[in-house]
Amino acid sequence: MTDVNQQAKQFEFKAETKQLLNILVHSLYTHKEIFLRELISNASDALDKIRFEITKGTDVAQKELPHEINIDFNEKENTITVSDTGIGMTEAELIANIGTIAKSGSADFIKKISESGAEATNIIGKFGVGFYSVFMVADKVEVITKSYKHDSKSLKWISDGLGTYEIVEIENKLSRGTDIIIYLREDQKEFAEKYRLEQIIKKHSNFISFPIKIKNEQINSVQAIWREPKSSLTKEKYVEFYKFLTFESEEPLEIIHKSIDAPIQFHCLLFIPSKSNEYFFYNREDYGLDLYVRRVMIQHKTKELLPEYLSFVKGIVDSEDLPLNISRETLQEDVVFNKITSNVTSQILNALTTMAKDDIEKYNKFWNEHSKVFKMGYMDFTNHDKYTELLRFNSSACQSEKDIISFEQYTSKMSADQKEIYYMVGNSREAILSDPHFEIFSRKGLEVLFLFDPIDEFVLSSIRKYKEFELKSVDQVDLSKLEKLSDINEKPKYESLEKDDELHFKSLLSKMKEIIGDKISEVCESKRLTDSPACIVNTDSGMSASMQKVLGMMNKESSVPKHIFEINKNHKLIRNLIKVFKKNSNDEFIKEITEQLYESSLLLEGYLSDSHKLVSKINSFMEDSSDWYVSVKKI
Ligand code: ADP
Ligand code: MG
């Protein structure tokens, strides 16, 4: 191959590319071998693309070439060559594809990698950084390529990965496709060696669906394992494939392998990862299954195959019935495709249902890792029943915040006269347990689901019912029904009020309403409280207090909706207040206590925007009580 008598054109890498190259060239990453995985994966993509063009009937150059990847090396010269007979590149494509980083999320990736310093190495391993990773081992790279389009020129791209690259037209590259010639750095000689190359291919690229050959000897297994009968596959094989597909290092939590015959024919091999990617550098939009049609790869990461709430699932779908020329644009209108999608969703939900039945520990792991995403499934009305059975919550009957139960478990324990499922929103188990609204449920021994995640309430208010049982936020419950139930614990010991005091209590309530004014709609006697003196209660029975708050925030509304202010007449503080009231209904102390009780209740419901006033009042109450303490104790 000689250069055509023509000047080489000089180009500069884009800033983002330079930044990435700089990181890679200086990387101390110990698994530099992944460069080969990346180059082979590009070669395989290029072969997928040519195979796709050919099956579509496009007239491509050198149609008869075998679809394969060849690897050559030269120990003396310290070089490796990775060649494919794929789609190749034109000059414009070379510039667009290898001079710029097109991958979405690369900017984030670079930012992350430069921020995380030493840890960057894990990120390189996990996400791969494509073509440029070759500069971890090379001080010069040549890409020699010829596009599948007829009359394409042979081109050579050369760079040392430092800042610029050159493109020059060459004479007669013989065949369609791309050769990548890697000039290894002095300290990376180890890679120009057969055993080492073979080992890397077996480890990272064994399932590439085209033959990978080293000096004409095939190394990989080229097996569409999703089309093999289950009985012929071992767990190890599945795990190996999973690691190949996802670059994960851990085993998957669940493997779902199905061949469906009716009503449509397809194979799927799906995996539920054992770890969520949510907290790591992760782009939520970046999901989907690989779509094949009769073994031909049509599209990586096909989102349309999975509802978003199952986006954590990885894997492959291979259809017998779809046309090969199906395109992203037409996918969603295709009847067969839609049937596949809904069948895939059912397969996953069925697998989860079985897991929940047969292996609770495993299901709990699933829930811990993936429930954040899974909860978004409340919009899947088609699979409503299956989805609902799969939901889990902490509840008042659990031992700790970590335990979870299903609706099924909840309803199996409740008494025949309970017709509703109760839930309560809060920041933590402790917060809910000490919340005034929980008191009556605790007194009556009624189980309450505890919701800690803001999305939980959206889920529950959207699904509304489990079987015939309505889901009710504790502040929307009709208390008159609960009161009829007997208490599970002994009644707290307080004397009932004298008839006369009962009347005074009624007047005290009116007085309190007068003190607080229009901010509340009503002051009344509480039926729900046991240990707390007062609380505020939602008046809009259509919506729970926390939901109102969320909606208020969305509408940028900061006003407090009107509430009922409930008073516990059996609380010692209120009993004393009745005494004060009897003596002098205009006593300043009544006003102070009432305001304080109201503000404390607002605080508990999350409505108090400024707590300064509240705190300074508490301080002045403590000051008074210290006076009494000193005088009573005769200090
Ligand atoms: P990615 O593979 O994720 O797109 P890479 O950095 O690995 O990112 O590759 C960048 C692009 O360069 C590819 O998308 C492809 O268009 C082009 N490319 C790389 N290697 C080849 C090849 N062997 N044949 C054809 N095109 C290639
Ligand atoms: Mg790539």
Distance from the alpha carbon of residue 174 to the mean position of ligand 1, in angstroms: 21
DSSP 101: -
pLDDT higher than threshold 80 for residue 80:
yes
CA distance 450 to 39: 50
Instruction: Identify which ligand lies nearest to the alpha carbon of 147.
Output: 1
Predicted confidence (pLDDT) at residue 4 exceeds the cutoff of 70: no
pLDDT of residue 105: 59
Which of 42, 84, 95, 204 for mutating ligand 1's site (highest number of atoms within 8 Å of CB)? 42
Tell me how crowded residue 498 is: count the other CB atoms within 10 A of its CB. 10
What is the CA(36)–ligand 2 centre distance, in A? 10
Residue 133 CA: which ligand is closest?
A: 1
pLDDT of 283: 66
| pLDDT value, residue 538 | 78
Task: Report the distance separating Cα 232 and Cα 226, nearest Å.
Answer: 11
Q: Has residue 552 got a pLDDT over 70?
A: no
Spatial distance between the Cα atoms of 28 and 214, rounded to a whole number of angstroms: 28
The rounded Å distance from CA 153 to ligand 2 centre is 23
Q: Give 203: exposed, middle or buried? Use CB within 10 Å, 0-12, 13-18, 19+.
A: middle
Q: Tell me if residue 385 falls in helix, strand or coil.
A: helix
Label the pairing between strands 69-74 and 212-214. Answer: parallel
Q: Of all protein residues, whose CA lies closest to atom 5 belonging to ligand 1? A: 130
Domains and CATH numbers, the chain: 9-218 (3.30.565.10), 225-365 (3.30.230.80), 391-462 (3.40.50.11260), 499-633 (1.20.120.790)
Q: Which bound ligand lies closest to the C-alpha atom of 144? A: 1
pLDDT at 325 exceeding the cut of 80: no
Q: What are the tens digits of pLDDT across the range 362-381?
A: 999 999 999 999 999 999 99
Token pair 């009644």 is at which residue? Answer: 491
* pLDDT for the residue 223: 82
- From 325, 349, 323, 350, select the one nearest 336 (Cα to Cα): 323
* Range of weakest confidence among 24-33, 86-95, 267-276: 24-33
pLDDT attached to residue 607: 84
Q: Inform me whether the pLDDT recorded for 490 exceeds 90.
A: no
pLDDT band at 116 (very low <50, low <70, confident <90, very high): low
pLDDT tens digits for range 280-313: 555 677 899 999 988 888 888 999 999 999 999 9
Q: Taking a C-beta distance cutoff of 8 angstroms, is the pair 561, 570 a contact? A: no
Write the DSSP string, 8-25.
PEEEE--HHHHHHHHHHH
Mean pLDDT of 230-238: 95
**pLDDT tens-digit profile of 500-550?**
999 999 999 999 999 999 999 999 999 889 889 999 987 765 667 777 766
The Å distance, Cα 127 to ligand 2 centre, comes to: 10
pLDDT of residue 123: 63
- Mean of pLDDT over the chain: 89
Closest C-alpha residue for ligand 1 atom 10: 97
Sign of CA pseudo-dihedral 116, 121, 126, 127: positive
How far is the C-alpha of 1 from the C-alpha of 436, rounded, in Å? 84
Task: Give the mean pLDDT of 54-63.
Answer: 91
Confidence of residue 553 (pLDDT cuts 50, 70, 90): low
Q: Which residue in 364, 295, 302, 358 sits closest to 327, CA to CA? A: 302
Among 217, 251, 200, 245, smallest CA distance to 37 is for: 200
Check residue 5 and give its pLDDT: 56
**DSSP helix/strand/coil, 382:** coil
Question: Percentage of the chain surpassing pLDDT 70?
Answer: 91
Predicted pLDDT at 336: 94
CB-defined site of ligand 1, < 6 Å: 38, 42-43, 45-46, 84, 86-89, 97-98, 103, 130-131, 178
Residue 491, pLDDT score: 63
Separation of CA 86 and ligand 1 centre (Å) = 11
pLDDT at 58 over 70: yes
Q: How far is the CA of 97 from the centre of ligand 1 (A)?
A: 6
> What are the backbone dihedrals phi and psi of residue 497, each rounded to the nearest 5 degrees, phi first?
-75, 145
pLDDT band at 255 (very low <50, low <70, confident <90, very high): very high
Predicted local confidence at residue 280, as pLDDT: 54
pLDDT of residue 128: 59
What six digits make up the tokens of 341? Answer: 């999608």
Span from the CA of 138 to the centroid of ligand 2 (angstroms): 17
pLDDT of residue 366: 98
Residue 331: both structure tokens together? 């996918």
β partners of residue 256: 270
Residue labelled with tokens 């419950």: 477
Both structure tokens of 487? 């208490």
Residue 26: predicted pLDDT: 81
- 325 is written with which tokens? 């020329």
Percent of the chain exceeding pLDDT 90 equals: 65
122-134 per-residue burial string, b: 16 or more CB within 10 A, e: under 16: bbbbebbbbbbbb
Place of tokens 């502040």: 475
In degrees to the nearest 10, what's the CA dihedral of 294, 66, 43, 277? 20
- Maximal CA-CA distance, the chain: 113
CA of 132, closest atom in ligand 1: 6
Q: Specify whether the CB–CB gap between 521 and 539 falls below 8 A.
A: yes
The backbone torsions φ and ψ at residue 210, rounded to the nearest 5 degrees and listed phi first, read -120, 150
The 3-class secondary structure across 120-180, one letter per residue, is HHHHHHHHCCHHHHHHHCEEEEEEEEECCCCCCCEEEEEECCCCEEEEEEECCCCCCEEEE
Amino acid 323: pLDDT: 83
CA distance linking residue 178 with residue 89, whole number of Å: 8
CA distance 171 to 517: 92
- β partners of residue 315: 270
Q: Ligand 1 centre and the CA of 504: distance in Å?
A: 83
SS3 call for 39: helix
Q: What is the model's pLDDT at position 557?
A: 62
Q: Which residue of 45, 48, 124, 142 sits with most ligand 1 atoms within 8 Å of its CB, as the best mutation to test the pocket?
A: 45
Q: Do 229 and 260 touch, CB atoms closer than 8 A?
A: no
For the record, the structure tokens of 396 come out as 């008042």
User: What per-residue confidence (pLDDT) applies to 281?
Assistant: 52
3-state SS, residue 70: strand
Answer whether residue 331 shows pLDDT above 60: yes
Q: What is the pLDDT of residue 2?
A: 55
> Crossing angle of helices 34-56/194-204, nearest 10°?
60
Cα(627)–Cα(451) distance, integer angstroms: 43
Residue 410 has pLDDT above 60, yes or no: yes
Mean pLDDT, residues 562-586 taken together: 93
Torsion sign across C-alpha atoms 452, 453, 455, 460: negative
Residue ID of nearest Cα to ligand 1 atom 12: 97
| Strands 164-170 and 465-466, bridge-based pairing | unpaired
State mean pLDDT over 329-351.
94
Nearest ligand to the CA atom of 82: 1
* pLDDT at residue 130 is higher than 90: no
Q: Find the DSSP H helices in 225-270.
A: 235-246
C-alpha span between 626 and 610 (Å, rounded): 26
Q: Ligand 1 mean position to 46 CA, how many Å?
A: 8
Give the mutation target among 14, 38, 68, 97 for probing the ligand 1 site: most ligand atoms within 8 A of CB. 97
pLDDT of residue 295: 84
268 forms beta bridges with: 258, 317
> Counting ligands in written order, which one lies closest to the CA of residue 129?
1
Distance, in Å, from the CA atom of 80 to the CA atom of 182, rounded to the nearest integer, reads 5
